[in-house]
Amino acid sequence: MDSVFRTPQVHVIGEIIGASGFASTKVYARWRMNVGHDWRLLSGIDNGETFYDCTEHVEDISVFEHPLDLHYACKTISGWPKFDVEVWTVDTHGRHSIAGYGCLTLPMSPGQYELDVLLWRPEGGIYEKLTSFFLSANPELVHKNMVISGNDRFGLQTISTGKVMLRVGVIVKDFNLHGVLM
Protein backbone atom coordinates (compact mmCIF):
# COMPACT_ATOMS: atom_id res chain seq x y z
CA MET A 1 0.00 0.00 0.00
CA ASP A 2 1.31 3.41 -0.88
CA SER A 3 2.30 5.30 2.20
CA VAL A 4 0.58 8.48 1.03
CA PHE A 5 -2.83 6.92 1.53
CA ARG A 6 -2.20 6.01 5.13
CA THR A 7 -4.10 8.44 7.30
CA PRO A 8 -2.20 9.64 10.36
CA GLN A 9 -3.81 8.56 13.58
CA VAL A 10 -3.57 9.61 17.20
CA HIS A 11 -4.38 7.59 20.28
CA VAL A 12 -4.95 9.27 23.63
CA ILE A 13 -4.92 6.80 26.50
CA GLY A 14 -5.03 7.75 30.14
CA GLU A 15 -7.06 9.02 33.03
CA ILE A 16 -8.42 12.17 34.56
CA ILE A 17 -6.91 11.55 37.98
CA GLY A 18 -8.72 14.15 40.01
CA ALA A 19 -8.94 17.76 41.07
CA SER A 20 -7.47 19.74 43.91
CA GLY A 21 -7.25 23.23 45.25
CA PHE A 22 -10.94 24.08 45.44
CA ALA A 23 -12.84 25.60 48.35
CA SER A 24 -14.98 22.49 48.66
CA THR A 25 -13.80 18.91 48.27
CA LYS A 26 -17.17 17.88 46.85
CA VAL A 27 -16.57 18.30 43.16
CA TYR A 28 -17.25 16.72 39.82
CA ALA A 29 -16.07 17.59 36.35
CA ARG A 30 -17.46 17.74 32.86
CA TRP A 31 -14.95 17.25 30.12
CA ARG A 32 -14.77 17.30 26.37
CA MET A 33 -12.08 16.70 23.80
CA ASN A 34 -12.12 19.34 21.05
CA VAL A 35 -10.56 18.70 17.66
CA GLY A 36 -10.40 20.57 14.39
CA HIS A 37 -12.59 20.14 11.33
CA ASP A 38 -10.34 17.64 9.58
CA TRP A 39 -10.22 15.31 12.51
CA ARG A 40 -12.44 12.30 12.92
CA LEU A 41 -13.15 10.30 16.06
CA LEU A 42 -12.77 6.63 15.14
CA SER A 43 -13.49 5.11 18.51
CA GLY A 44 -13.88 6.14 22.11
CA ILE A 45 -15.99 8.64 23.99
CA ASP A 46 -14.90 12.26 23.67
CA ASN A 47 -17.05 13.95 26.30
CA GLY A 48 -18.57 13.04 29.59
CA GLU A 49 -18.97 13.63 33.24
CA THR A 50 -16.89 12.12 35.99
CA PHE A 51 -17.82 10.63 39.32
CA TYR A 52 -19.13 13.04 41.90
CA ASP A 53 -16.60 12.86 44.71
CA CYS A 54 -18.52 13.69 47.87
CA THR A 55 -15.88 13.05 50.50
CA GLU A 56 -16.68 14.80 53.77
CA HIS A 57 -13.24 15.03 55.29
CA VAL A 58 -10.53 17.19 53.83
CA GLU A 59 -8.30 15.30 51.43
CA ASP A 60 -5.68 16.92 49.31
CA ILE A 61 -7.20 15.52 46.14
CA SER A 62 -10.70 14.73 44.91
CA VAL A 63 -10.54 11.52 42.93
CA PHE A 64 -12.18 10.93 39.56
CA GLU A 65 -9.97 8.28 37.89
CA HIS A 66 -11.97 8.70 34.72
CA PRO A 67 -10.57 6.56 31.89
CA LEU A 68 -9.81 8.10 28.50
CA ASP A 69 -9.27 5.95 25.42
CA LEU A 70 -9.67 7.94 22.21
CA HIS A 71 -8.67 7.19 18.66
CA TYR A 72 -8.52 9.98 16.06
CA ALA A 73 -7.70 10.08 12.39
CA CYS A 74 -6.64 13.41 10.92
CA LYS A 75 -5.98 14.98 7.57
CA THR A 76 -4.09 17.96 8.93
CA ILE A 77 -2.13 18.60 12.04
CA SER A 78 -3.97 21.80 12.86
CA GLY A 79 -6.76 21.25 15.32
CA TRP A 80 -4.74 18.97 17.58
CA PRO A 81 -6.93 17.67 20.43
CA LYS A 82 -7.65 20.16 23.17
CA PHE A 83 -8.90 18.92 26.50
CA ASP A 84 -11.56 21.19 27.91
CA VAL A 85 -12.87 20.73 31.44
CA GLU A 86 -15.25 22.49 33.78
CA VAL A 87 -15.36 21.65 37.47
CA TRP A 88 -18.47 22.05 39.60
CA THR A 89 -18.59 22.13 43.38
CA VAL A 90 -21.47 21.19 45.62
CA ASP A 91 -21.83 23.04 48.90
CA THR A 92 -23.33 21.79 52.16
CA HIS A 93 -26.86 22.63 51.04
CA GLY A 94 -26.50 20.66 47.83
CA ARG A 95 -26.21 23.67 45.53
CA HIS A 96 -24.09 23.14 42.44
CA SER A 97 -21.95 26.02 41.32
CA ILE A 98 -19.16 26.43 38.83
CA ALA A 99 -15.67 26.23 40.25
CA GLY A 100 -13.50 26.60 37.22
CA TYR A 101 -12.95 26.32 33.50
CA GLY A 102 -9.78 25.22 31.86
CA CYS A 103 -8.30 23.82 28.72
CA LEU A 104 -5.12 22.07 27.74
CA THR A 105 -3.61 21.18 24.38
CA LEU A 106 -2.47 17.59 24.52
CA PRO A 107 1.22 16.97 23.89
CA MET A 108 2.15 16.38 20.29
CA SER A 109 5.16 14.23 21.02
CA PRO A 110 4.28 10.65 21.79
CA GLY A 111 4.98 9.52 25.31
CA GLN A 112 3.60 9.29 28.79
CA TYR A 113 2.71 12.51 30.59
CA GLU A 114 1.37 13.78 33.88
CA LEU A 115 -0.33 17.11 33.22
CA ASP A 116 -2.12 19.76 35.23
CA VAL A 117 -4.99 21.81 33.84
CA LEU A 118 -5.13 25.12 35.69
CA LEU A 119 -8.60 26.50 36.15
CA TRP A 120 -10.22 29.90 36.46
CA ARG A 121 -13.75 31.18 36.72
CA PRO A 122 -15.28 34.56 35.93
CA GLU A 123 -15.61 36.94 38.83
CA GLY A 124 -18.29 39.39 37.76
CA GLY A 125 -19.28 42.66 39.32
CA ILE A 126 -20.38 43.62 42.82
CA TYR A 127 -23.85 42.13 42.33
CA GLU A 128 -22.41 38.78 41.21
CA LYS A 129 -19.99 38.82 44.13
CA LEU A 130 -22.86 39.27 46.57
CA THR A 131 -24.83 36.52 44.87
CA SER A 132 -21.82 34.28 44.96
CA PHE A 133 -21.27 34.94 48.65
CA PHE A 134 -24.84 34.48 49.88
CA LEU A 135 -26.36 32.11 47.37
CA SER A 136 -23.23 30.21 46.33
CA ALA A 137 -24.12 30.86 42.71
CA ASN A 138 -20.97 31.75 40.88
CA PRO A 139 -21.27 33.49 37.51
CA GLU A 140 -20.93 31.15 34.56
CA LEU A 141 -19.80 31.59 31.00
CA VAL A 142 -22.53 31.82 28.40
CA HIS A 143 -20.26 31.08 25.46
CA LYS A 144 -18.11 28.22 26.59
CA ASN A 145 -16.12 28.17 23.36
CA MET A 146 -14.04 31.00 24.71
CA VAL A 147 -12.39 28.56 27.10
CA ILE A 148 -10.57 26.89 24.23
CA SER A 149 -9.92 30.01 22.16
CA GLY A 150 -7.81 33.05 22.76
CA ASN A 151 -10.31 35.55 21.40
CA ASP A 152 -12.61 37.91 23.28
CA ARG A 153 -10.92 37.65 26.61
CA PHE A 154 -10.00 41.28 26.98
CA GLY A 155 -11.70 42.89 29.94
CA LEU A 156 -12.87 39.68 31.55
CA GLN A 157 -12.06 39.48 35.23
CA THR A 158 -11.41 36.01 36.56
CA ILE A 159 -10.47 34.27 39.76
CA SER A 160 -7.84 31.55 39.76
CA THR A 161 -9.14 28.43 41.44
CA GLY A 162 -7.71 24.90 41.43
CA LYS A 163 -6.39 22.36 39.00
CA VAL A 164 -7.33 19.11 37.34
CA MET A 165 -4.70 16.41 37.03
CA LEU A 166 -4.36 14.30 33.92
CA ARG A 167 -2.29 11.24 33.20
CA VAL A 168 -2.20 10.59 29.47
CA GLY A 169 -0.20 8.57 27.06
CA VAL A 170 -0.09 9.82 23.47
CA ILE A 171 0.61 7.35 20.66
CA VAL A 172 0.82 8.59 17.08
CA LYS A 173 0.75 6.51 13.93
CA ASP A 174 2.00 7.14 10.40
CA PHE A 175 2.88 10.79 10.86
CA ASN A 176 6.45 10.06 9.77
CA LEU A 177 5.24 8.78 6.40
CA HIS A 178 4.06 12.31 5.67
CA GLY A 179 7.26 13.94 6.79
CA VAL A 180 6.00 15.17 10.15
CA LEU A 181 8.40 14.83 13.04
CA MET A 182 6.60 14.51 16.34
Smallest gap from residue 158 Cβ to other proteins (A): 26
- CB under 8 A: which stretch of 6-14, 81-89, 123-131, 147-155 binds other proteins? 6-14
Task: Report in angstroms how near the CB of residue 37 gets to other proteins at its nearest.
Answer: 23
Choosing from 21, 34, 35, 62, the residue that interacts with other proteins (CB under 8 A) is: 62
Residue numbers 84-113 binding other proteins by CB under 8 A:
109-112
Pairing of strands 27-34, 9-20: unpaired
Q: Which listed residue (1, 5, 37, 43) binds other proteins by CB under 8 A?
A: 43
* 141 contributes a contact to other proteins by CB under 8 A: no
In this structure, the number of other CB atoms found within 10 A of the CB of residue 76 comes to: 11
Between CA 40 and CA 74 the distance in angstroms is 6
Quick count: other Cβ atoms within 10 Å of Cβ 12?
A: 21
Nearest distance, CB of residue 24 and other proteins, angstroms: 13
- Distances, alpha carbon 46 to alpha carbons 42, 43, 60, 144, in Å: 10, 9, 28, 17
